[in-house]
Chain A
Amino acid sequence: MSAFWLLMIILALAAVGFILGRSRAISSVQGDRRQLHSLPNYYGFNVAMLAFVPAVLVLGAWVIIQPMMISSQVSTHIPAALYEDAGQLNLIMSDVKRVAEGLDVAIAQGVMSADEVSQLDTETTDVRAMLGNVGVALGSDVDPSVLKAAQEMRAKTTSGNLFMTIVVLIVASAGFVAAMLKTQGEFRARNAVESGVKALLIAAASIAILTTIGIVLSLIFNTITFFGMFPASDFLFGLTWSPEGRGGSEHLGILPLLWGTIYISIVALLVAVPIGLFAAVYLSEYASRATRAFAKPLLEVLAGIPTIVYGLFALTVVGPLLVNFFGADGLGWMQGARSVMTAGLVMGIMLIPFVSSLSDDIINAVPQAMRDGSYGLGATQSETVKQVVLPAALPGIVGAILLAASRAIGETMIVVMGAGAAARLDLNPFEAMTTVTAKIVSQLTGDSDFASPEALVAFALGMTLFLLTLGLNVLALYIVRKYREQYE
């Protein structure tokens, strides 16, 4: 029975449990609801909860764990002669899975019966062609041991599923019965349900931690695999990036990408920080209520525009415009529309509202007493801003700029579309360069398979990006929090 239908059965059981539990509670006190400890619905919920939750947890765990168990068992039966290292074994196992899936499809389409599948062997049937016919394309002919492993996998999966169905149904009924037995007038059903709900709330809150763990694990495992194939020192200190070169000439040095990332981010910050900061100062210190109500939301519209729009803006508007001035017809510094300048300028525009609204908050947190003190000494407004407000707000503003920098480093679409694809260590800002994020996209959207270093390097790049932005964020949040505490 498939997990879906099993889930439906448990759901139905829970629904029945709700109705029965409720009516049993009422009848246990001869219909006098006042004698119940909790409202009748709570008794119903309690039964439904005990029938549903443990069973679903078992089901979920089973669905995740069973394939892993089976594949590790099956892999021990693959003859050692077929592979040399773990990487090759992985490739074989993915073939096995694919064949097993193909056989399932063949049965589902009625091409052959389940018995025929288990009798299948490579001597008499061209398995590759047969699976090709049902729409499962295989990269190579099926090795007999692979077919055997696939058949073994299918057999184990079938028996595993049967076993799962039995266990889950037992767990669900046990919960159901146990809850029903407890359902009496004095039973504190509300407390039981509430602690159940609370557990759910905790589970929801811990998803944040799970997400972080998920990110870290998926980066770490793939990065380790990558470093197993490619020396870490060449990755970290290599000055060339040219994954296309096949064989030994493969260069996956991160430095040109990091340089591109940092260079573009610097250009972006050079645009965003002065404009954003001055805008924030004007809006918080000078602007009338009406101006503020008009200009602040308009500036923030810039923050609500998706990055794909900025990317296209860079590619088709800003790039060609820059080429007009700096290209072959102008100063001759620029080759094509894509360049550090193009991406940096547009990213700067995107970051203006980010810098301005963060700094606005921070400037507003500077106590009015500080300003009064300065005005009381005869300082002008700009002197007050420059010499009292901004220095007082400096830590907060630094935090805001760090957050903006982390944004710039992690920005993807603008650089994918505006910065170019060539990894370069160059100083000319009108030259096309590429970034860590752009390369993550290009390495993972190509056709190369996930086991090759060309694809896996993306995870190492992702790891670098994650650590870099995490560091900046933690530092920035720490600075901003310290700053806030200072004035609270």
Chain B
Amino acid sequence: MNVMTKTERALEMKDMKISAKNVQVHYGDTHAIKDVSVEIEDKTVTAFIGPSGCGKSTFLRCLNRMNDTIDICRVEGDILLDGEDIYDKRVDPVQLRAKVGMVFQKPNPFPKSIYDNIAYGPRIHGLARNKAELDEIVEKSLRRGAIWDEVKDRLHAPGTGLSGGQQQRLCIARAVATEPEVLLMDEPCSALDPIATAQVEELIDELRQSYSVVIVTHSMQQAARVSQKTAFFHLGNLVEYDDTTKIFTNPEDPRTESYITGRIG
């Protein structure tokens, strides 16, 4: 507990984007997330690490209410985005998800052209007034997704025809196109080869300039490479949350140490 209070004190000085307090998640009878509280900073990459089934992805999906699409899932506790409770009755998850975008484990471009993939979000949220604006948004997003140079000549080719790494960067560009404030990434590199992974990691680092990025990963090296803050989950509990360098060099909790040294997980 001593650790937590110290961390909290340190965090208060920074600009908080999301703060979760005492979050509990139940899947039917399973208690998937047990009393997790965490503060996520703006313009920072936060990594959630932990062994498979520790609840890190589940917790991530709470942050933009993707769990709403699963019938048996129940979420308790408070999650505040800029001080506003995202589970408040008045909140429309649709509007929330425009602000908190998400990138998934497996690249999932829509079976449409590259252009339409990117334009999808802006179109449904009505971000562009005309074709020229939309073109501009698409180009800007593809540039932010670091894929513009590779696809600019074939914007109307199907998105499914790209390679795995390109697809994932396309999906990131697609998420960026709706002007989100937070970007959630659920193991974005697990389906990619090392070269594509390197490209995506580089991109994540750039994205930090404009967004708060939360990334779930099962690779500790990746967490160490891309994140500034790291949270370690174990069996549905948040074990430790601190600066990445601190977690990897001098963890407080013995379980964290066992994990990063490869003894559990």
Contacts and interface: CB of A to CB of B under 8 A. Distances in A.
B96 A377 contact: no
Nearest to B103: A376
Interface string A18-48: 0000000000000000000000000000000
Interface stretch (B28-36, B104-112, B217-225): B104-112
Contacts of A380: 94, 124
A372 B108 contact: yes
Contacts of B99: 378
B110 A376 contact: no
A478 interface: no
B157 interface: no
Interface residues of B, number: 29
Interface stretch (A136-144, A210-218, A350-358, A383-391): A383-391
A378 B108 contact: no
Interface stretch (B75-83, B171-179, B197-205): B171-179
Given A289-B71, A379-B124, 7 more contacts: A371-B69, A377-B101, A377-B121, A377-B178, A379-B120, A379-B121, A387-B110
Contact of B110 (A288, A289, A373, A375): A373
B97 A373 contact: no
20 contacts: A288-B71, A369-B104, A369-B106, A372-B69, A373-B174, A376-B102, A376-B104, A376-B175, A376-B184, A377-B124, A377-B178, A378-B96, A378-B178, A379-B94, A379-B124, A383-B124, A387-B110, A391-B110, A391-B111, A392-B110
Nearest to B68: A375
B54 interface: no
B5 interface: no
B104 A378 contact: no
Interface in B40-90: 64, 66, 69, 71
Nearest to B92: A380
A370 interface: yes
B154 interface: no
Contacts of B175: 376-377
* Pairs of residues from A and B, 5 with the lowest C-beta to C-beta distance, nearest first: A376-B102, A378-B98, A378-B97, A369-B108, A373-B108
Interface in B112-165: 112, 120-121, 124-125
Contacts of A391: 110-112
A374 interface: yes
Interface of B: 64, 66, 69, 71, 94-99, 101-104, 106, 108-112, 120-121, 124-125, 171, 174-175, 178, 184
A373 B109 CA distance: 8
A376 B94 contact: no
A376 B121 CA distance: 10
Given A369-B108, A370-B110, A375 B97 contact: yes
A293 to B, nearest CB: 14
Contacts of B97: 375-378
Interface string A297-333: 0000000000000000000000000000000000000
Contact of B174 (A289, A377, A392): A377
A473 to B, nearest CB: 25
A367 interface: yes
A373 B170 CA distance: 12
A416 to B, nearest CB: 43
Contacts of B69: 371-372, 375
Q: Taking each of B96, B111, B112, B178, which has the highest tally of chain A beta carbons within 10 Å of its own beta carbon?
A: B111
Q: Taking each of B95, B103, B108, B184, which has the highest tally of chain A beta carbons within 10 Å of its own beta carbon?
A: B108
A373 B125 CA distance: 15
Contact of B120 (A288, A289, A372, A377): A377
Contacts of A388: 110, 120
Given A373-B110, A375-B69, A376-B64, A387 B104 contact: no
Contacts of B95: 378
Interface string A113-154: 000000000000000000000000000000000000000000
Nearest to B171: A373
Given A369-B104, A370-B108, A391-B111, A376 B66 contact: yes
Nearest to B96: A378
Nearest to B98: A378
A375 to B, nearest CB: 6
A173 to B, nearest CB: 68
Contacts of B184: 376
A377 B71 CA distance: 20
Q: Taking each of A289, A371, A374, A391, which has the highest tally of chain B beta carbons within 10 Å of its own beta carbon?
A: A374
B167 to A, nearest CB: 11
A373 B95 CA distance: 15
B70 to A, nearest CB: 10
A392 B111 contact: yes
Q: Taking each of A288, A375, A378, which has the highest tally of chain B beta carbons within 10 Å of its own beta carbon?
A: A378
A289 B108 CA distance: 27
A376 B64 CA distance: 8
B192 to A, nearest CB: 15
A99 to B, nearest CB: 71
A378 B111 contact: no
Nearest to A373: B108
B112 to A, nearest CB: 7
A379 B97 CA distance: 8
B207 to A, nearest CB: 16
Q: Taking each of A370, A373, A376, A392, which has the highest tally of chain B beta carbons within 10 Å of its own beta carbon?
A: A376
Interface in A239-277: none
Contact of A367 (B101, B108, B120): B108
